[in-house]
Structure 1
Amino acid sequence: MTVEALRRVGTLRLQARREELVRRGALLFEDALRTASLPGAGPGRVLLLRWLDIGVIRADMPPASVALALEQRVRALVSSAVHGEEPGAERAEVVFFRDEIEPFVALARRLGRGGRADAWFWPHAAPGFVPGMGREEALRFALRGVMETGAGPLAAAALVEALFSTRGALEPLLFVLRWQEGSALVRSLGGMTAEARPFVQTDSMNAAAPSIRTKSFRETIARFAASWGPSDARSVWLTAMFLLIEEPGRIADPRLAERAAAVATAIVATNGDPQERGQTTTKDEAVAESPLAAPAPAGEVVETNSAGGRVEFKGKPARDAAEETDGASVGVAGEPRPEKPRPGGPREGGGLSEASPRGVSDEPAAAARIAGLSGFAKGALVGKVSPDTADEEPWATGGWGDGILRPTVVGGLSFLIPVLEQIGISARLEADPRLFDVGLAARFFVSVARRFGAPAEDAAFLALGGDRVDASFEDPALGEEVERLVRELLLEARRFCRRNLRLGLRDLVCRPGRIGSTRTHIDVVFDLEAVDIRVRRAGLDLDPGWVPWLGRVVRYHYLHGADA
């Protein structure tokens, strides 16, 4: 979602003596909206204003004057902006979210805890959402919404992480996932085709299978994969989400789905075979016995289009919100209405077979069994959990940043992203999947930052993974290989800078700036006066956008003086 896409106006009301003056005012305001530097939004933020009095627009005013007046009026309002999840946000006139995925994450978290989402800003923060949606429909909408953002599957991992860290919020989402929808979720990861199901274990795949370090993640996989079946696409997708939470760079691994399937199979095998426990249920039996299978509302038909990776909801048409509300403010909508498809969607690629796996129950009975064995009962797990040397603390999100711009002395560290692409980091990662697991890219950035004296609290150091790199290696041989590759990449990066920029690596990296980072985005801000023509000529300060092996969307912003 681009910044321009966020500059939308629900209703513009102009008054004038003649119609041509109204048209002139609308054109001036549209031009001002495109060019104004709206204060308070911040790089990457989503800013929502319930209303805005734009004052008097004279027909002879230049667009620049209208833009300046718009900036001043927005500045007067944003000082009172509150975050969309803060208490009382529904009464605020200005609401913000830190990045494009946070509205969907916040929406799912609120619904997962049993809350309501009828505040005025939700339909604008999460376009396509209609207050009054059923809970199951809204949870699917939130999942689909994050996957259609620029971060794609990694945004879905951020959603799972946020719900997991909120007690009792993840299970409602997993309960509503149908087995037909699993194939579209796995296809979004890429790399697994329909022919890969049923999944066949091989020695090479087992050898390359990563491990999930967090005990609570393994417990969750054990509960759901044991009931769904380890080869069910939902089990593969859920396991992949936890793998991405621990190391986001794995999203660039073309074999992520296959490796996730191996992990799910190993976890379920460790905790026992669900068929041996007598938990196998046919789909017909599941629907008959499920206490959670609530009937669809009258007049509403739910259709699944797994081939396209979307779930469409058809129902009775709702009244247009604009007819019931004033301006950009939207209150509680009436009946559910058909959702308009949004651009983008899950990445195309292979997918697991959509047929219900033999011996695996459909979702209603699975949800019923899991509900009795998981967080709702606060009870025991399915089978046994693999022993650990020490108990782990419950997972809590952290270290990803809150989007607030903070200073850095190595702002040019992100200029090395296209350099790494040029010297072949992608090929090295694909040649050995274990390098995704140990965070080769993050280790490289940490090595460079430390070499040039960046403190541990430096914003660039943290944004690029400095606080998530574990120096230890279970396999000493792998540790030696990673250290060799980091030195090799460092040498090649130095050569690239000398040859193409006539700059030393220190001169490229050591640049003051500010960085704001979230779970999926990194925004780097420089002073416009600090633009380096050598860097610009080489294209190193062009927005990298989505960087798979880094697991982030990276954007640059050049601002004037005090704003930078």
Structure 2
Amino acid sequence: MPSPCAASYHHVHRVHLWSTHAPLVQRGAILIEDALHTASLPTAERLVLVRQLQLGIIRSDRSSASLALTIEQQMAQLAGTAVYALDAAAVDAAMVYFNDALEPYYQLALRLALGFGLEAWFWPLAVRGWHRGMDRASGLRYVLQSLLQTESGSLAVVPLLQVLQEHHQLTALLQVLLPSDGAVLMQASGWPWPLSSLSQVASPSQLNPANQMLLSTWVQHWGSCDARSHWLAAILWVAENPGRVLASDVGERSRILVHQGIATLDMTSALLPPIETNPDEPFTSATAQAVAPFLSEDGAAPMPTPYPADESAQTQPTVALPHPIAPALQPLDAGRLPSACNNAVPPEQVALASVAPVLPPAQSSTCIAGTVGTDLPTHYGGFFFLLPLLNRLAIVSFLQSHPGAIEANFAQHLLRITANRLGIPQTDPIYQTLFSPDAWEPLPQWTIPAHWLNHQLISSPWKLRQTLIGSQLWDSSGQICLAQWQQAKAPTMVHRLLSRGREHIVKKPLITRAPAQWNGSSDPLLQTWQMALQRLCCRYGRMGLRRLVYRPGRLKFTRTHLDVTLPLEQAEVGIRRAGLDLNPGWVPWFGRVVQFHYQERR
């Protein structure tokens, strides 16, 4: 199955050809295939589904180029009548669309949870592999495993939890997970299971109070040694900071969070009224009233009239997912687990807390209601060309080797400070795609990626400087700090950098005063990365950051995708030569799939 996050993908579900002669049918199939490859079809800004395309009579002597023009003309006509898939008129529409490739998965899960009808023609096409023969539980679990197979991985599940939460249906998903699903979900998310008993976490882990209460409730239901408890803990931890998906100790942190959930439950269980929940029954509005009223940012969309639940939806499935996430695993045998793990509580005794919202409402805490999924004009459409630059500067390896930078949301701070330095006003929609992290706390110890030396961004000789906060290693220009540490002896990572650099170190202060705060930041780490961006842009793009960023265009963003559309005349040879307008695709530390498009002015 192709990834739903694929930047450019077209699929024809079925072709009907009729002729009295079999060779003519074969000839027509070849012409249609060539025409589809030749035709200029809609870009991948959104997922477009076409019910049928009438091509008429195809003569054997017709060229594929002329047939491609016919396809383009019919697609253009249908585009004018395209209907949003969640609109009531979509059932009879010839063309429907979703805002991105993952939205149908979230909306399908929501309708399964609510028990609404899914008779529209486009659902099996939008969520490939799902069919109406699946019962409610199997459908929800199939959506979950399909999202984990995308390039976004575990972060693609976070919007699913958000959508279900906004409509009071998060329990509907969690209650259909089988004990055997937990280990499969952990492994499909890229997290180890079973966990090693010797691993340790350098820094403590903690969820916000609402997420901690949610986790505590399900730890009580599943048990502290159930893999489902650890998977939920890891997902909630990553949801609060998408950059955490790059951390190497997510599994061990889930263990700490689960134990904290047990402690939280011990303190609050006496205050929580028990609510009877039956995983064999759909999650009803009566159960939802016991959970805090979570409201979506732009209000809940009107939903179709629900149909009576069929008998298949009333039966808890006892089989694995139709398409397993990973090789089949044996269900956990509670009788063979230590007594400390046999603490699961029967469903009828589970207390569902009435708590505040448990997940961030959207990718950006500054997102304005009603703007998600719409085109917004900007004068700084080239700002996101910085993402390929940062990837070229090995920001992923830097974050993975500096867990403190992940927790401090370093990448988001860097983007925001760069935007401020370039004079982008706070009213620009660019800020709606960025998080609003807490105040920046400088890291005490770090080194630049050794990969920078390959780009010749560092001028020599390097110079060592002693400061009040420790030792710093600067390049000869005094604008890039290569490393900072507080110990009397340089750590191993600094020695590795020196061995790569093969430069002569002058053991004397570079300057007698602090480096100039030309970028409005006194932190050498942020200053260093901004200067590296500037030098890399000049070296490969033959222009400065301001010229690169200042480009009128349009932004369209959803929970999982960001599409940047620029006028065709904004395409430059320098940018193309440097590869800055190549689609970054899935950017884990940014939390979205990013794509660039060039279009002629309309």
> What TM-score range do you get, normalising by the shorter chain?
0.7 to 0.9
Q: Secondary structure at the residue paired with 1:435?
A: helix
Amino acid at match of 1:560: E
Cα offset for 1:293? 5.2
Q: CA separation of 1:443/1:355 partners in 2, compared to 1, >3 Å: closer, same or farther?
A: farther
Determine if contact 2:236/2:359 at 8 Å carries over to the other structure: no
Mapped pair 1:29 → 2:32: yes
CA–CA separation in structure 2 for the residues paired with 1:555 and 1:141: 27
2:140 alignment partner in structure 1? 139
Amino acid at match of 1:143: L
Determine if contact 1:528/1:561 at 8 Å carries over to the other structure: yes
Larger Rg: 2
Amino acid at match of 1:429: L
The structure, 1 or 2, with the larger RCO (C-alpha pairs under 8 Å, 6+ apart) is 1
Determine if contact 1:227/1:274 at 8 Å carries over to the other structure: no
2:585 alignment partner in structure 1? 545
Mapped pair 1:369 → 2:349: yes
CA–CA separation in structure 1 for the residues paired with 2:45 and 2:343: 40
CA–CA separation in structure 2 for the residues paired with 1:79 and 1:61: 28
Cα offset for 1:7? 2.6
Cα offset for 1:524? 2.2
Cα offset for 1:366? 4.3
Please list the CA deviations of residues 406-446 of structure 1 after superposition, one character each: whole Å capped at 9, or x if unmatched.
32322222222232233332233223323223322122111
Give the alignment's TM-score, normalised by structure 2: 0.71
Report matched runs for 1:445-524 at 5 Å: 445-463=415-433, 465=434, 468-472=435-439, 483-524=523-564
1:212 alignment partner in structure 2? 207
Q: Secondary structure at the residue paired with 2:58?
A: coil
Q: Secondary structure at the residue paired with 1:272?
A: helix
1:325 alignment partner in structure 2? none
CA–CA separation in structure 1 for the residues paired with 2:111 and 2:331: 32
Q: CA separation of 1:296/1:80 partners in 2, compared to 1, >3 Å: closer, same or farther?
A: closer
Determine if contact 2:152/2:586 at 8 Å carries over to the other structure: yes
Amino acid at match of 1:522: L
2:75 alignment partner in structure 1? 74
Mapped pair 1:429 → 2:399: yes
2:480 alignment partner in structure 1? none
Please list the CA deviations of residues 7-59 of structure 1 after superposition, one character each: whole Å capped at 9, or x if unmatched.
333332234564433333322222222232334xx534211122222234343
Amino acid at match of 1:540: L
Q: Secondary structure at the residue paired with 1:181?
A: helix
Q: CA separation of 1:507/1:56 partners in 2, compared to 1, >3 Å: closer, same or farther?
A: same
Determine if contact 1:292/1:368 at 8 Å carries over to the other structure: no
CA–CA separation in structure 1 for the residues paired with 2:542 and 2:237: 40
Q: CA separation of 1:272/1:128 partners in 2, compared to 1, >3 Å: closer, same or farther?
A: same
1:247 alignment partner in structure 2? 241
- RMSD of the TM alignment (CA)? 3.8
Report matched runs for 1:547-562 at 5 Å: 547-562=587-602
Moved more, 261-270 or 142-151: 261-270
Report matched runs for 1:287-298 at 5 Å: 292=279
CA–CA separation in structure 1 for the residues paired with 2:110 and 2:357: 24
1:414 to 384, 390, 411: 384
Determine if contact 1:175/1:367 at 8 Å carries over to the other structure: no
Determine if contact 2:280/2:314 at 8 Å carries over to the other structure: no
1:282 alignment partner in structure 2? none
1:532 alignment partner in structure 2? 572
CA–CA separation in structure 1 for the residues paired with 2:580 and 2:142: 37
Give the alignment's TM-score, normalised by structure 1: 0.75
Cα offset for 1:171? 0.5
Amino acid at match of 1:514: R
Cα offset for 1:4? 8.7
Determine if contact 2:241/2:409 at 8 Å carries over to the other structure: yes
Q: Secondary structure at the residue paired with 2:424?
A: coil
Q: Which consecutive residues of structure 2, in runs of 5 or more, have no partner in the other structure?
A: 282-310, 446-468, 470-483, 485-520
Cα offset for 1:499? 2.8
2:188 alignment partner in structure 1? 188
Report matched runs for 1:204-353 at 5 Å: 204-205=201-202, 207-209=203-205, 211-213=206-208, 215-272=209-266, 292=279, 302-304=318-320, 311-312=321-322
Mapped pair 1:404 → 2:374: yes
CA–CA separation in structure 2 for the residues paired with 1:484 and 1:392: 37
Q: Secondary structure at the residue paired with 2:266?
A: coil
Mapped pair 1:10 → 2:26: no
Cα offset for 1:298? 13
Please list the CA deviations of residues 122-162 of structure 1 after superposition, one character each: whole Å capped at 9, or x if unmatched.
11111111113111111101111111222111111111111
CA–CA separation in structure 2 for the residues paired with 1:352 and 1:457: 54
Q: Which consecutive residues of structure 1, in runs of 5 or more, have no partner in the other structure?
A: 278-288, 305-310, 313-338, 375-379, 386-390
